[in-house]
Structure 1
Amino acid sequence: MCRSIKTLRPPALSHEATGEDIRAAALQYVRKVSGFHVPAAHNREVFERAVEQVAEATRALLDDLEVRGSRSPRKQEQGAA
C-alpha cells in the first residue's frame, strides 16, 4: 500500500522502534488513506487524532507481537519484573 513505510519490528529494523519511528509510519499511513499530505485547517484536528490513534495501535501491536517464538523486548522485561 505505502512503500515508504518501513517495517518497524526487529530484525527488519536494526533497533527497537522509537516513538519517532512509530509516529512517522502512522503519519504516512494517515496521509495515504486520507489523500492529504497536509490537512486543511478545518481537518487538522481529526487528522492529528487519526495519527495518534494509528500510532497507539502500532505501539500495542509491536509490544504484543511474538516473532519466531520469542516475545518483544518490552514483554520480556515485563515478564521478568
Structure 2
Amino acid sequence: MATKTITLELDAYEKLRQVKRGGESFTEVVRRAVWLDAPATGEDLLQYFHNGGSGVSDKYLDAAEEAARHDPIPDDPWA
C-alpha cells in the first residue's frame, strides 16, 4: 500500500497520540476520526451513542430516554 509522509504541529500530534489505542497505528486513528461539517444535533449524538461511540451502556441510554419521555418541558421554566 502506498504511504504519504505528513508534518504535524506538536499540538495536533499530541491530540492524535492521546486518542491512539493500544496496538493502533496513527493511520487507524485517522480512519476512525469523525469529521463533522456542521455541529452535531441531539439526534446525531444519540445515534453516535447507540452505535457504541461512548462508554455509556445501552441500558443507561434506554433509561435516560424513558425518563425524558416523562419529563415534559414546563410552560414557565422559572416557576
TM-score bucket of the superposed structures, by smaller chain: under 0.3
- After TM superposition, the score normalised by the length of structure 1 is 0.27
Choose between structure 1 and 2: higher helix proportion. Answer: 1
- After TM superposition, the score normalised by the length of structure 2 is 0.28
Relative contact order, higher structure (CA 8 A, sep 6+): 1
Choose between structure 1 and 2: higher strand proportion. Answer: 1
State which structure, 1 or 2, has the greater radius of gyration over its C-alpha atoms. 2
